[in-house]
Structure 1
Amino acid sequence: MSKVIDAIKFGVLPPDEIRRLSVVEINTSDTYDEDGGSIAGGLMDQRLGTLEPRQRCRTCGNISINCPGHYGHIELAVPVIHVEFAKHIYKLLSTTCRSCGRVLLTPEDNEIYRERRDEENKLFGKVSVETSKEIVKSAKKYKKFKDCPVCGMTQSNVKFAKPTSFLEIEEEEFDSDDESLIEEISRRLTPNMIREWFERIPEEDLKLLDFDPQVTRPEWKILQVIPGPAV
């Protein structure tokens, strides 16, 4: 009996899945040694596949015409932000609490928006653009140096400096000539800091912001490991 594909979902592979699918860790950019043999752990490692007509792949055992090639993985020295997801990352930094990871909405508003989303999903199969924009707008209000309505932590404003830099703006009060002055201090959010922030966001709050945690968690958009090309 034939089957028909109903839908295709695209997502981001989690780091552990990239490592699981990999046949070898690539740890050098070199390809061949002085004798013309492929270097183990290099970009032409024989476990990644084979190009030579009579040579067999060390992973599947097939010759080049039958070998599909196999992915490796490259561990990054430090995490980096994927430029394609910079706007998604900014949206989450602007609408969630740095401390508890919750969406910056009161419990009452959170419940109201959750019910509205569920109703729209049931009736139309998706959430309206108007509802999504309203949720983001309501959450962003707390970033202007207000306290998180869930944990009470004072929030800092976040600015996006293209292509992939994010600055956290904090207010600091000090006395000068018998009067109180407020100075804004900026601090760069490193990819590691952002990844740890996103790990604290619960799945239900991600759904509220139009993210499907079953397909893509936001911390996966901070790259720690990338697939290595198959041969």
Structure 2
Amino acid sequence: MFAGTEKVWISSDKRTRLEYDKGAATLAVYVEDVLQGTFGANGLIGDTYPATASVGAASGNATAAELGNSFDHLTILTLADFAIGTSGDGAALALGALLYTFPAGDIIVEYGAFNQFGLTGDISVTTDTPEYGLGTTAASGVNATLGAVATTAEDILGPFVAADVAGTVADNEGFPYAGAKPMLMRSAEAHTCYLNVADTWADVTAAGAVTGDGIIILKWRLLS
């Protein structure tokens, strides 16, 4: 296991906990099931094999490593110049792009994290500090925060605040709904996961592309 890292509970009954090295560019993940008392490196409950059944699909410049089995899933998304949208220019604007689509069925999203994640804006002023998060709908419109767009713009994870749009990375994690509880995604509901950003953008020479880089972790279960 890792020296100096913290373990994070990812089930409400404190049966399962997740440990990962927040500062590492190459991510290794350990998951412990307290009742079984076993750890797995890059796997779930002692398993070390990739999940091949009932997995989702990454979008854009994101690649997905799917770990676990047909029930327990750990999705590790690596983003490289992931295109989120075009910034505002001297005004509020929210933007978002499809990051991942969960498979069909009833799903519980138990935990999520941004690891060494940063935003970059191809604009003349890069000191803005936008909100960012994951939601089942894309952020859009003249909105300075994701909450002003809709609760569904931030219902999977977040929102968090970026240090800037100059690529400075940070680690943020938690449960959906601001740490209150896991998220139940029923089979008839949207199974999309958007990476969303919102800000009152500085007055820039011209609006430009906003991209994201880093690792996003999603711990979820397929119930049916």
Please tell me the TM-score bracket, short chain as reference. Answer: under 0.3
TM-score (norm 2): 0.23
TM-score (norm 1): 0.23
Which one has the bigger helix percentage?
Answer: 1
Which one has the bigger strand percentage?
Answer: 2
- Which structure: larger Rg? 1
